[in-house]
Amino acid sequence: MLNIVLFGPPGAGKGTQSERLIEKYGLVHLSTGDIFRANIKGETELGTLAKSYMDQGQLVPDSVTIDMLRSEVVKHESPRGFIFDGFPRTNAQAEALDVFLNELGTGISVMLALEVEENELKTRLLKRAEVSGRADDANPEVIEKRIHVYNQETAPVKSFYHAQNKFISINGIGSIDEITNRLFQEIDSI
Ligand code: B4P
């Protein structure tokens, strides 16, 4: 199986690039952000809980996120592989992911980390706010908080995959097509 962690700060292009990758490689796309937003829309208990964190730019607690992701993974019978988009976002999530993929007889093939500097992230998110209707994109203070949380809690996850020789850094600046081609090149050489 080809299991990819697509990683990067908020607005780095994870969602955008995931769509290109699933099309080319036939992978299952699991975006924790999308799953939370679907639950918010459906007014589920999980959605109400997730919203209270997301609107503040904070991470949804690991206990909730890990169980949710696990239940999504096991829904798919004989997949070619997964793209994990926005997961793991903490070291605890990365450890849990290793354990349960191992139980399924598989593991992470590679982490592809999109690198984009802070000013560009802010510009992209504020631009998306004009069309997304997302509360977490519209407020510059919430964007600051999301970037801060990324630097404090999420960026260290790179070391987790680095230690397993699975970390690849990708320049996330350029046109969407250029970045897709950089990702294709790396995946094709695995
Ligand atoms: P996510 O949904 O993962 O949101 P994101 O990080 O903002 O999105 P992404 O990087 O995918 O941006 P996109 O491609 O759309 O998370 C939202 C929230 O959910 C988190 O803050 C957290 O609260 C919660 N959450 C999610 N997962 C969690 C977890 N595992 N644990 C705990 N909490 C969790 O790109 C952004 C914009 O840039 C788009 O408008 C796009 O068009 C544009 N863009 C993309 N590539 C571009 C390029 N090359 N040039 C110019 N613009 C580009």
Quick: pLDDT tens for 76-135: 999 999 999 999 999 999 999 999 999 999 999 999 999 999 999 999 999 999 998 888
User: Could you identify the atom of ligand 1 that is nearest to the CA of residue 17?
Assistant: 14
pLDDT band of residue 4 (cuts 50, 70, 90) is very high
Give the CATH number of the domain where residue 130 resides. 3.40.50.300
- Residue whose CA is closest, atom 26 of ligand 1? 33
Q: Which residue reads 């949804």 in tokens? A: 60
Ligand 1, atom 43, lies closest to the CA of: 124
Domain count within the chain: 1
The average confidence (pLDDT) of the chain is 97
Ligand 1 close to Cβ of residue 154 (< 6 A): no
Quick check: is 87 in a domain? Answer: yes
Mark whether 182 is an active-site residue. Answer: no
Atom of ligand 1 nearest to the CA of 176: 49
Structural domain contains residue 67? yes
Q: Is the shortest distance between the CB of 47 and ligand 1 below 6 Å? A: no
Which stretches of the chain are DSSP H helices?
A: 14-25, 32-41, 45-54, 62-73, 91-103, 118-132, 135-138, 140-149, 157-162, 176-188
Residue 188 falls inside a structural domain: no
21-52: pLDDT as tens digits: 999 999 999 999 999 999 999 999 999 999 99
Please give the distance, rounded to the nearest whole angstrom, from the Cα atom of residue 13 to the centre of ligand 1: 6
Residue 165 has pLDDT above 90, yes or no: yes
What is the predicted pLDDT for the residue at 53?
98
The DSSP-derived string for 142-190 is HHHHHHHHIIIIITTHHHHHHTTT-EEEEE--S-HHHHHHHHHHHHHT-
Higher pLDDT, 29 or 190: 29
Q: How far apart are CA 140 and CA 123, in angstroms?
A: 10
- pLDDT for the residue numbered 133: 87
Query: Any catalytic annotation for residue 80?
Result: no
Token couple for 46: 């999980």
Taking the centre of ligand 1 as the mean of its atom positions, its distance from the CA of residue 1, in whole angstroms, is 25
Q: Decide whether any atom of ligand 1 lies within 6 Å of the 121 Cβ.
A: no
Domain range for 111 is: 2-183
Atom of ligand 1 nearest to the CA of 53: 23
- Residue 124: active-site member: no
Residue 166 within any structural domain of the chain:
yes
